[in-house]
Structure 1
Amino acid sequence: MPTNLMQTEDKVFLTQISQLAKSFQDSGDSAAANKLRDLIDRAQTDEGSAYAAFVGLFSAGKSSLLNTLCGSDLKTGAVPTTAEATQVRLSDRNSNVVLLDTPGVDSTDDAHQEATEKALHLADAIVLVMDYQHVEAEENLELAQQFGEGQKRLAIVVNQIDKHLDFELPFEDFRQRVVTTLDDWGIEYDKLFFTANTDSPYNQLDSLSQWLLELAIPQVNEGTEEAQQPEDALEAHGSTQPIPARTDMLMLRVEEVVDEHVRWLFQADWQKESERVEQLAGFQLDTVADIKQEFADITRRVDENRRYLEKAAEQLHHVHDTISEKMLRSIDSAQIAPYETTGKGKAFIESMKPGFHVGWIRKEEKTRDERQTRLQRFVEDLRSKSTQFLLWPTQSELRQMLAEQKWLFTEIEDEISHMELSVTEELCSRLVEEGALVSDSYSHQYVADVASAIRAQCSRQVKRILEKVREVTEEHHTMELSGERQALERLKEIQSALADMIRLNEDMERDKEQYMSYVLSQ
């Protein structure tokens, strides 16, 4: 909540910050207290100056770049010679900017890390320097991503552009590749510069210098006499973009330290709630907003799946009846007694009529043998036709119905494979109605009765299998729906944990606002 305090007495303002530092120290947060004291020292010794921290990996050329910008004589080399951030100044008639040369951010030395961190918290802007040959290195891009997510203005400098050779790659193609890479990584930055310490047609050292000097040009509130910024100052730097007022820049730095202190106060509670969310969710997301978005997406999918399964359950009986009707209709229309088979059935019935006999010698024995022979011929042919035109097509249709539901196919395949039709001599003999043998048309009816009995066998087996299909499907849907409900309950637990984190964050924001209100109360 930066505000313009240009009309407030500086001593009163700094006294408030000093008292805030004492409060932080008394609470045990000496790191935040020291940072506030550093800001007080900055305000007292460099009034009116903006600060920019030059950061980057070792050998990126930060010190050499600063020497060229400011005409300074900083020590250079891959190994830092000091654990302190070195200050140089860049000035013109309108602006004064303090540039901080930091050790390499990839240093493992604690003193170097402390110096870099101190420079970053003092800085109003960050200049990330990347070596030309390593601009697409993952380490550089991760740094750019990290700094881009902060509140400070970020300039990305591709240094040593004099190494570029146009015959290998046109500069505009190289520049566009850099821009595309930064965009692909989602890096937010204020400006992109290409620089060199020697002559190069692509050197933007002057533009970088102008951007740095603009950091110290004050921005004042609209609607006041002070709102008129010196046009010559803006024109001198080629910019019309409003820049925060000097005191507002200091207030931004104070607010950053306050934010760190509040996070320090709530660190244990925040960590506890964060671990609770991670334990429940089974994954870690960077922000509460990310987790809430994930929750919304999962909830939407759960609702869609639940509606689908409920609809599927409602339609299950309808589908079962429809399939049953189709299968039974196919069974009823199966031609298992074609002309030749029917003829054999008629021949058998003819042999069963009164008065039928074969020969005169051993007439009874020969007649009995003839009847048995005709019965066997009829049964064998009928069994073959029933298998070919009824059993196999029915099994095939059942398998086709289950082909897209492999979990169901596994359950039912054995049932389908063990289907069989009992076409036996006993069946065909049992279905003969002796009282009807006197009728000339009975042979047709007999064959129809036998075929109907065989179809009935097939129908009973299909009904049993389809009933099993219905039961297994219902169980499967019930289990799936149960799983989705359990997932929904788990998400509700996550939602509850997130709500606690949101409330904790609100408490942190309230404390932060109270601290800042104290600083602003003059």
Structure 2
Amino acid sequence: MTLTTEKAVEQMKSLYTYINNYSSSKQSEKILDIIEKLENRKMMIGFAGHFSAGKSTLINTLLNKEMLPSSPIPTSANIVQLNSGESETVVYFREEPPVRYEGEIEFDRLQSLFKDGEEIKRVDISHPESGLPSHVIVLDTPGVDSTNDADRLITESSLHLMDHMYYVMDYNHVQSEVNLQFLWEMQRRGTPFSIVINQIDKHNESEISFDKFSQSIDDSFNQWGIAPERIYYTSMKDFDLSINTFEDLKVDFKSLFERSYEVIENQAKLDAESVIQECLKEAEEDFYQEKQELLERRKDLETLLENSHLSVEDQVTTEELLQKLHDDVQVRIRQFIPNAYLMPSVLREDAKEFLEAQQPGFKVGFLFSKKKTDEEREARNQKFYQHLDDVIEKNLKWPLRDRWLELAEKHKVTDESLLKKIQDFPFEYNKDRLHDLVEKGAEVTGDYVLRYTDQVSNDVKKEVRRFTQNIQEQLEQTLKEYQQTDYDKHQKAYDALEECGQIEKTLEQFSIRIKSYQEDLYERLRTPASHMDIQVVKDDLKKRKDCVLTSSELPPEKKAVVNPDRGATEPTNSSTPDQSIDSILEKVDETLSIVGNVQGLDSLIDQLKGKKERLKNRHYTVALFGAFSAGKSSFANALLGERVLPVSPNPTTATINKISPPTDECPDRTIHVAVKTESQMLHDLSGILQRLGVEVSRLRDVHETLLALPEGDREALDHKQLSFLQAFLDGFEEMHLYMNQSI
């Protein structure tokens, strides 16, 4: 191993032990697969796609060796790995240990193993003439669009090993939504892939030119955002076809063998990240049921709250309510008080005169000086106090009053006595404190006046803080009483509100746990393995190798189970040979006479009458059902002996087509088209309109609104909705005049 490979493997080992301890074994096994592949420096090329698209035949042709049985019916129900080496087959059972069978196995027996998807999950075939280098493994997978969901899951279980994938499609099923969805997923997870459109010999240039056919495929892939490395058109029947690019495919396939291992290491990291996403998805699914129950319960609680005066936004406790009040008081009241300006220069002059009057040697006049001195001292005292009170009222009391009233309104306080107290704001600064703050023996200097006025200002603010503390306590008590009274009156609503809060916390905890799990997984992918991690991986890889048993006898071949009750019984048929059409018509008439007047059976009676007329006129219906592009239109044309319906490898039929024999009213080649009604079209578009947030009731308005919609807004739609939307926009002008008509 190179240093780069060794580092990548070390990080994988750290991730493996973590997932193995905390997640499902399925995901940890995938990481172990990647480690094993990197340590053995293997490259894996996968083949997936439409069932019976010819994957096995294509692989055999590419390898120039018939390694896999092929058949027009599906031959693979499990993963098949092909590699170079001594002839042997290793069968991995679902419930039993894997078994190695040495030597070659007959094709018929191999085919039975490949088809046994119930008991066998993987078959590894090694052959010295496989046409593969020793470091390359080819994987063949079941059809992703099989009717058996297990086949698709088996294919998806091998994607983490594929360094490159060839997605094989039948010529007639290229634009299957299953194919497009699968390829889009490959694009999302970063798996390099090419597309092989096989059985191109089915192409008929008279139906559609090859250029148009290939362009329609490019357009479809572009619409889905699918960008394969290359698209090949192949046929294993006619290699001389000019449009057969099998030789290019063969060259590119073999060029993969020489791909730099650094590319494979980088792909392994992407695959490990995909496994991490699977772990996260699995974790979310573990919470899904509980989460849905919580969401349903929350919905019921919100319905209950809708009928009360409370809402989810009101889910606060008394403690939280008081804390909000405290925070508001801190910002609006307490931060305001220290910044209040209480000592303008004029007031400082009054303070100076007041201080001078307090000096022991202060004296006014010569005659009757004591009386005059006392009067002057009192006048200066009153002047300073009154001026100070005016400043307090203007710069402190009224601003605080307004702020308290705002807080009372914000917190929905309606107590009249408390509101009156705030409105009056009866704060009075004690006049005596002006004397108490005067320092004995201090001379009246400019510095002392400044110091004294600052002391007065700070003292006023201290006193007003005490006063506001009392208002805050009264507000808190009022809020407590409100909360308790309202709770007693609406206990059920408050209990519902509290439960909603608990549900929100639980859902938030889910999200936190998933996020934490995600961070741990990615951290492990970046962290070198410890000695313990290395030893755990070494032991587990050894267990894998040691558990493979060796046997010379193949497992018994499964036999088709025949129901003993079938075949021995005669086919049951309620009709007897002597039941003529006339007798059936008589019974229909009898039934109609009995139920003809019964209320609520109008629709059933109309159907019965219609069937009676068809039977009377010897008219019956043959219906063709099947997968899109399976050739239903071509088959109908073959039955009729002429080309009546259009045919194409692309889907051509989106409506019910009914072909009837000509009549006098409807001569040969007459076409009647029943156009949908406006209400039917609005119903068909309802899902699209809802997702786009469009609320209009007339089809014309819908068309104009959607036509003017910015391209970016359409990203909310999935690919199927986008296709339908475009078809509506393209065809509306031509067809809207014929709505609800037969033309």
The two structures have a TM-score, normalised by structure 1, of: 0.45
- The structure richer in helix per residue is 1
TM-score, normalised on structure 2?
A: 0.33
